[in-house]
Copies of this chain bind each other. A is one copy, B any other.
């Protein structure tokens, strides 16, 4: 062992002890006759002192040569520090060095290894091994470990069994694009990497495993939106002989356990909201309920005057912005500009100031009198000093726009406190979703989700109205988990696949093994999957997942540190019976 103690553990009780430490030179201050060196390892920082009067001259000389990030080993005596630091756990002591060995030198790092670094994202990714030395990244990875340990402990205590499912599986054309893996031993054939272990966990239920979980990598070959990774980690779970209520209780318990053990936060029973209500009140199936600003539908109180914009709109919707009346005209114009950006896409915004004296001043005073505006204010629950913002248009679009505005204003108002945790179940999702481009319905969760009892018949007549026992767990405006009760009989699964546009032959080819399995005694079952990367980031008080992943990829799916992907040998291609077919 290169050390007797870590750099985080020495304190006043160790004074006069001889110790050996090893670590990295965080920084050194050379006063000529005295040199102080901050020695760093994963556990903390310990101050070393080299002193002309007490340190051998050769050691003193060597100490002068130490650069940042040199790896050294020192032996010395723990002594009381003259000017104590309360910031460091080791701040009461320093180590008077008698022996010094340089284990490895270091060239100057391309960015500073400090909590606030001067390195940009790109350079930090290229030298990720240096970035990991910084506390914000190192602590995030340790935090992630703590979360996964608690997840496993909780689920295992609840009799869940972690079962590893295969990574080399079969490609399915349904859903997102698969990464594929050519098989050398089966010429011309390919494995696919799993987008989730969905069918395997269902087969484990058919197999009687009863309660399954797995923390598992999943893969999607999608064009990467911001903060998405081609490989990501799921906490994947499934239970047999359960109803939706049982699943919600177990995973609410898990989430509460994590909040308590990892964040020290106790949370009340999670509220539940119908999908339809979430869309109506927040324009969004993952509402952030840390703050109010709920939508008020204003059709009834706006469509009785000559204002054509509102009269022709499918939906007129308003929110009350707390203290928004303090916005200047220019600030309001900026908000209007913001909602008209192509990313949001509103055609305009109507507003109404709620003055402290009980009067109202709107941008459409020409059409609406104080009595009209009083109704807007009442409906949006606006208080004196607030601002009512109103958007209108086609229902789905205007909801999405208003949701974006609500989140933006909340952000500006500091209402999205990362230390506050507001979990929420959104339940009763629709079974199907209309693809506006193709006019076809596809599965909102996945093709294995069961329609609510008695609603199967509606599939033929009103497919958009069929609801499922499908649910999402939302935390602070982020979907952190989702799941459903599954289909567990062959006939229903076949009907479902038919409605999703699979021919009988395709259904057989893709999911024959699952439908066969349903014939051999499949229990009722359901489950849920958490997105671990996001869950950890949110518990860690962050919105971006990248620092909670040791070696993330960039937006082109590249690992810039190892420079992957890369071209491979022709020999390898030939062995795989493949040829490149590069477009000109």
A342 close to B (CB within 8 Å): no
What residues of B have a CB within 8 angstroms of the CB of A164 in the complex? 144, 217, 233, 549-550
Q: Which of A170, A207, A245, A523 has the most CB of B within 10 A?
A: A207
Name A521's contact: one of B69, B188, B204 (CB within 8 Å): B69
Name A578's contact: one of B187, B192, B572, B579 (CB within 8 Å): B579
In the assembled complex, how far is the CB of residue A111 from the closest CB belonging to chain B, in whole angstroms?
11
State in angstroms the CA–CA spacing of A563 and B170 once bound together: 8
In this complex, how many residues of chain A approach chain B with their Cβ under 8 Å: the count is 126
**Could you say which of A178-186, A303-311, A403-411 contacts chain B?**
A178-186
A299 close to B (CB within 8 Å): no
What residues of B have a CB within 8 angstroms of the CB of A127 in the complex? 520
A300 close to B (CB within 8 Å): no
Chain B proximity mask over A11-45: 1 for CB below 8 Å, otherwise 0: 00000000000101000000000000000111100
A1 close to B (CB within 8 Å): yes
State in angstroms the CA–CA spacing of A246 and B1 once bound together: 6
Q: Given that A128-B207, A513-B561 are known contacts, is A168 also in contact with B520, CB under 8 Å in the complex?
A: no
Contact assessment for B181 and A179 in the assembled complex, using a CB-CB cutoff below 8 Å? yes
Name A207's contact: one of B132, B182, B524 (CB within 8 Å): B132
Contact assessment for B184 and A181 in the assembled complex, using a CB-CB cutoff below 8 Å? no
What residues of B have a CB within 8 angstroms of the CB of A130 in the complex? 206-207, 520
Contact assessment for A523 and B207 in the assembled complex, using a CB-CB cutoff below 8 Å? no
Q: Given that A133-B208, A551-B200, A577-B583 are known contacts, is A243 also in contact with B1, CB under 8 Å in the complex?
A: yes
Closest B-chain residue to A166, C-beta based? B551
State in angstroms the CA–CA spacing of A42 and B127 once bound together: 48
Q: Given that A162-B145, A166-B551 are known contacts, is A41 also in contact with B184, CB under 8 Å in the complex?
A: no
A152 close to B (CB within 8 Å): yes
A415 close to B (CB within 8 Å): no
State in angstroms the CA–CA spacing of A558 and B168 once bound together: 9
What residues of B have a CB within 8 angstroms of the CB of A190 in the complex? 565-568
State in angstroms the CA–CA spacing of A496 and B145 once bound together: 34
Chain B proximity mask over A568-584: 1 for CB below 8 Å, otherwise 0: 11001111111111110
By Cβ-Cβ distance, the 10 closest A-B pairs, closest first, are A132-B207, A106-B521, A170-B564, A189-B565, A2-B241, A69-B521, A183-B565, A42-B210, A129-B203, A129-B207
Q: Which residues of A contact B (CB under 8 A)?
A: 1-3, 22, 24, 40-43, 69-71, 73, 103-107, 109, 127-133, 138, 141-142, 144-145, 148-149, 152, 156, 161-171, 173, 177-193, 199-200, 203-204, 206-211, 217, 219, 221, 223, 230-231, 233, 241-243, 245-246, 488-489, 513, 517-524, 549-551, 553, 556-559, 561-569, 572-583
